Amino acid sequence: MCPWQPCCFECCIKCLGGVPYASLVATILCFSGVALFCGCGHVALAGTVAILEQHFSTNTSDHALLSEVIQLMQYVIYGIASFFFLYGIILLAEGFYTTSAVKELHGEFKTTACGRCISGMFVFLTYVLGVAWLGVFGFSAVPVFMFYNIWSTCEVIKSPQTNGTAAVEQICVDIRQYGIIPWNAFPGKMCGSALENICNTNEFYMSYHLFIVACAGAGATVVALIHFLMILSSNWAYLKDASKMQAYQDIKAKEEQELQDIQSRSKEQLNSYT
């Protein structure tokens, strides 16, 4: 065995011990949730606009406002993805530098009021983002609910009890009742076999399932932010305790230094008398 292998092994163990695994798991979960929400949500919104334009609102002026809102939401999605990519990296770096293993690797460090203030700011900001993402999670469930109602109506049309009967054409979905297009939009609702054809399109199938995945991604992001909040609170408490320990050690070192000075002066006086 080479003489450097035990030293290398110990170094690897110390490096692995310095990884903040809780922050790493939260970062991966946050990145995955945001990626699912932004990617799937962006494509699903585009598919929703296509379904409305082709089937429920043939007049462009009727859904012009909705198209502008969806386009704005797609730009917001770009901003959310960029912001959380940077914020996740910052929180991961904060986890690296506040773990106790880093102290063992790099020696004693001095905790400052500025460092504790920054850590507290991250706690507050993560709390605000968590509350905001709870709203995003609830909002992302709305299109899932809408598409589920359309899909369940199509399943009723396809059922043997109604398929091939005159009652099929009386089963309708009025998209205007959800408030996404005005009441004067034409045709606004689809019935019977025409509605079944919409459910069989690729745009409907993809948009429905992508909205489900986007909603799940928003939920995963909420869980990740709650995880981050617990980690940051623990780190902030660690820094607070470290600052108290630092103050205690400073006072103790000062007292020991004063005691040594007294002893040295006593020895000097004793030597002068002798």
For residue 44, pLDDT beyond 70: yes
Arithmetic mean of pLDDT, 12-38: 83
DSSP string, the chain: --THHHHHHHHHHHHHHTS-HHHHHHHHHHHHHHHHHHHHHHHHHHHHHHHIIIIIB-SGGGGHHHHHHHHHHHHHHHHHHHHHHHHHHHHHHHHHHHSHHHHHHH------HHHHHHHHHHHHHHHHHHHHHHHHHHHHHHHHHHHHHHHHHHHHHHSTTTTTSGGGGG-EEEGGGGTSS-TT-SB-EEEHHHHHHHHTSHHHHHHHHHHHHHHHHHHHHHHHHHHHHHHHHHHHHHHHHHHHHHHHHHHHHHHHHHHHHHHHHHHHHHHHH-
Range in 7-11, 184-188, 191-195 with the lowest mean pLDDT:
7-11
The pLDDT-based confidence of 96 (bands split at 50, 70, 90) is confident
Arithmetic mean of pLDDT, 121-133: 93
Angle at 211 between CA 207 and CA 213, to 5 degrees: 120
For residue 108, pLDDT beyond 60: no
Arithmetic mean of pLDDT, 196-225: 94
Domain boundaries, given as residue ranges, for the chain: 21-238
Which comes out higher in pLDDT, residue 64 or 259? Answer: 64
Which comes out higher in pLDDT, residue 145 or 102? Answer: 145
- Give the C-alpha separation, 204 to 206, whole Å: 6
Is there a contact between 229 and 23 (Cβ–Cβ < 8 Å)?
Answer: no
* pLDDT score recorded for residue 265: 72
Is there a contact between 101 and 18 (Cβ–Cβ < 8 Å)?
Answer: yes
- Give the C-alpha separation, 271 to 265, whole Å: 10
Average pLDDT of the chain, as a whole number: 81
Q: What is the 3-state secondary structure (H, E, C) of 62-127?
A: HHHHHHHHHHHHHHHHHHHHHHHHHHHHHHHHHHHHHCHHHHHHHCCCCCCHHHHHHHHHHHHHHH
Which comes out higher in pLDDT, residue 124 or 3? Answer: 124
Arithmetic mean of pLDDT, 121-136: 93
Tokens representing 53 are 């334009």
Arithmetic mean of pLDDT, 189-209: 90
Single pTM value for the model: 0.79
* pLDDT score recorded for residue 273: 64
Arithmetic mean of pLDDT, 167-190: 84
Q: Report the percent of the chain where pLDDT is more than 90.
A: 37
Is there a contact between 171 and 156 (Cβ–Cβ < 8 Å)?
Answer: yes
Q: What is the pLDDT of residues 229-270, one digit of tens each?
A: 998 888 777 766 666 666 656 677 777 777 777 777 767 666
Is there a contact between 239 and 118 (Cβ–Cβ < 8 Å)?
Answer: no
* pLDDT score recorded for residue 104: 47
* pLDDT score recorded for residue 193: 85
Q: Report the percent of the chain where pLDDT is more than 70.
A: 76
* pLDDT score recorded for residue 178: 86
For residue 52, pLDDT beyond 70: yes
